[in-house]
Chains A and B, each alone.
Chain A
Amino acid sequence: MARIIVVTSGKGGVGKTTTSAAISMGLAKKGHKTVVIDFDVGLRNLDLIMGCERRVVYDIINVINGEASINQALIKDKNCNLLSILPASQTRNKDALTQEGVGKILEELSKDFKYIVCDSPAGIEQGAHLAMYFADDAFIVTNPEVSSVRDSDRILGLLSSKSQRAEKNDEPIKEYLILTRYAPERVKSGEMLSLDDVQDILSLDLLGVIPESKSVLTASNSGNPVILDEKSDAGQAYSDIVARYLGETRPHRFIDGKKGLFRKLFGGG
């Protein structure tokens, strides 16, 4: 059976799609057959971040409506052949997603893949609901600011009450925290919530902290998940996250803002 991971946050623009792209690529690079699904129907972005926007023929709504088979809609990633992408439809809206349709797709993908990563849209409506409904694990992406933390708290409430596992009274969804856009200097100056402040409210298993980094924007614009940029701090942070999720123990980095030796010598940003 595949493990279904939902990447969600409630709030928009915190890095769900960036995280979904990086995590799925990371899992595939580690040798696990992985598929990443874009649930943001009408505002699809995952194909851009993954650099496959020119190869989209069919999408998840076509599959739900029976206009295409799942294999016709899946796009093989250009960097890693263990990774596939199921894009969202850009011309429809989230109401086109049905619980039955999504359930069928996930069941079928479960036969072939080891990990299914669901990239949730922002909000708490149909798209976000269906992205999390069938999940086994939830990666909560949060920025170190109050509104993002509040929205994450709300999503955690929904995960524990409106998911299949909650309805069937199964073991609850495992919830992990990914803190993105973290800038230790700004935490020190009091402009940003610290990791402790966030954990005080959310108290979750911390998978990792992604530092605020220019490499994320560069990676997104070039259509390569940031995890492939092994020199970048954000790329390394995502590698750590994948390793920790798979059971490795790695010390947390990028929390206290010590500059590396290289940067100290050359004074880089």
Chain B
Amino acid sequence: MTLNPQNKSYSSPALEFKSTMFSVPVLGVASDDLMLIEQVLNEKIKLAPEFFKHSPVILDFYDLNKKQLTLSLDALLALVRKVGLFVVGVRGGSEEQHQQAIDLGIAVTANTEIKAELPKASKVIAAPKDDDTISDESTTVLITKPIRSGQRIYSHGDLIVLAQVGAGAEILAEGNIHVYGTLRGRALAGVQGNVDARIFCSDLQAELISIAGHYKISDDIQGAVSNTPIQIYLQKNALVIKTIA
């Protein structure tokens, strides 16, 4: 007996469309000098070889076209592949460049979409140079005193706070955030895109919580139990707020 192909597809679909968010580096091309581009690329990759290894990238031609320079897409692609990166898309180019990319099997991404990918994260990365910011190069930052309204704390790794975080205060970490007190201000973990970052606090009354750009404001978290230890993590692109049993 032959299997009915339609039945089979019901029981186990051969294909499933999922919507996920990635953070993909964008290479803004601003020169027509291939030698120079290669040199700069190699320097950058040397800084974090593991991070860039086989990494997908998107080429942005906006600056190149603004300067009215021309560059062979073929040659540029060959160069980028040579240094070990994979071009998955182009943007900001002319009609002609975009058509060329499509012919080469590379997607054309709209500018706005890219920018919308990590709205929260990209904003906060630019900001922490404020006067009030306490920043530390070491991986974990430990704060023992209450964080007051208007203060901002940024940690390049984890952030541990042994006191309360006041309303109007903002704490940001590239890693996890632990607050052993009432969290009333804003807490943003994984601000550089770490989706595995978590937020822990002993009493959740936050104005905003965010992990890797996915955020909830206080209106959305009102249902959460107060005065109970809480953890917040990202699951299938949704923030999960759970009591720590």
Q: Which A positions have Cβ atoms within 8 angstroms of B?
A: 150-151, 153-154, 156-158, 160-162, 200-201, 203
A153 touches B145 (CB 8 A): no
A203 touches B164 (CB 8 A): yes
How far apart are the CA atoms of A104 and B102 in the complex, in Å?
71
A157 touches B164 (CB 8 A): no
A201 touches B151 (CB 8 A): no
Interface residues on B, range: 10 to 19
How far apart are the CA atoms of A203 and B182 in the complex, in Å?
12
In the complex formed, the residue of B with least CB distance to A200 is: B182
Chain A residues whose CB sits within 8 angstroms of the CB of B30 once the complex forms: none
How far apart are the CA atoms of A91 and B148 in the complex, in Å?
34
Scan residues 161-182 of chain B and give those whose CB is less than 8 A from a CB of chain A. 163-164, 166-169, 182
CB distance from A181 to the nearest CB of B (A): 21
B148 touches A160 (CB 8 A): yes
Contact partner of B149 among A150, A161, A200, A203, CB < 8 A? A150
Q: Is B132 an interface residue (CB 8 A)?
A: yes
B132 touches A153 (CB 8 A): no
CB distance from B230 to the nearest CB of A (A): 18
In the complex formed, the residue of A with least CB distance to B145 is: A160
Contact partner of A153 among B131, B168, B182, CB < 8 A? B168
B150 touches A158 (CB 8 A): yes
Chain B residues whose CB sits within 8 angstroms of the CB of A156 once the complex forms: 146, 148
A157 touches B145 (CB 8 A): no
How far apart are the CA atoms of A156 and B149 in the complex, in Å?
8
Please classify the interface of chain B as helix (H, G, I), strand (E, B), loop, or mixed, using the class held by over half of its residues.
loop
Contact partner of B167 among A150, A158, A160, A161, CB < 8 A? A150
Chain A residues whose CB sits within 8 angstroms of the CB of B148 once the complex forms: 153-154, 156-158, 160
12 contacts between A and B (CB under 8 A): A150-B167, A150-B168, A151-B149, A153-B148, A154-B148, A154-B150, A158-B150, A160-B148, A161-B151, A201-B164, A201-B167, A203-B146
B145 touches A201 (CB 8 A): no
17 extra interchain contacts, Cβ-Cβ under 8 A, other than A150-B149, A201-B167?
A150-B167, A150-B168, A153-B148, A153-B150, A153-B168, A154-B148, A154-B149, A154-B168, A156-B146, A157-B132, A157-B148, A157-B150, A157-B166, A157-B169, A160-B145, A200-B182, A201-B166
Chain A residues whose CB sits within 8 angstroms of the CB of B151 once the complex forms: 157, 161
Can you list the 9 inter-chain pairs with the closest CB atoms, starting with the nearest? Answer: A157-B148, A153-B149, A154-B149, A157-B151, A154-B150, A153-B166, A156-B148, A153-B148, A157-B150
Please encode chain B, from 111 to 141, with 1 for each CB lying within 8 Å of some chain A CB and 0 for all others.
Answer: 0000000000000000000011000000000
Chain A residues whose CB sits within 8 angstroms of the CB of B166 once the complex forms: 153, 157, 201
How far apart are the CA atoms of A158 and B148 in the complex, in Å?
8
In the complex formed, the residue of B with least CB distance to A151 is: B149
In the complex formed, the residue of A with least CB distance to B132 is: A161
How far apart are the CA atoms of A260 and B55 in the complex, in Å?
77
Chain B residues whose CB sits within 8 angstroms of the CB of A151 once the complex forms: 149
CB distance from B129 to the nearest CB of A (A): 15
How far apart are the CA atoms of A153 and B182 in the complex, in Å?
14
Chain B residues whose CB sits within 8 angstroms of the CB of A154 once the complex forms: 148-150, 168
How far apart are the CA atoms of A156 and B168 in the complex, in Å?
13
How far apart are the CA atoms of A161 and B152 in the complex, in Å?
11
CB distance from A11 to the nearest CB of B (A): 12
Chain A residues whose CB sits within 8 angstroms of the CB of B163 once the complex forms: 203
CB distance from A74 to the nearest CB of B (A): 35
How far apart are the CA atoms of A150 and B132 in the complex, in Å?
17
Chain B residues whose CB sits within 8 angstroms of the CB of A160 once the complex forms: 145, 148
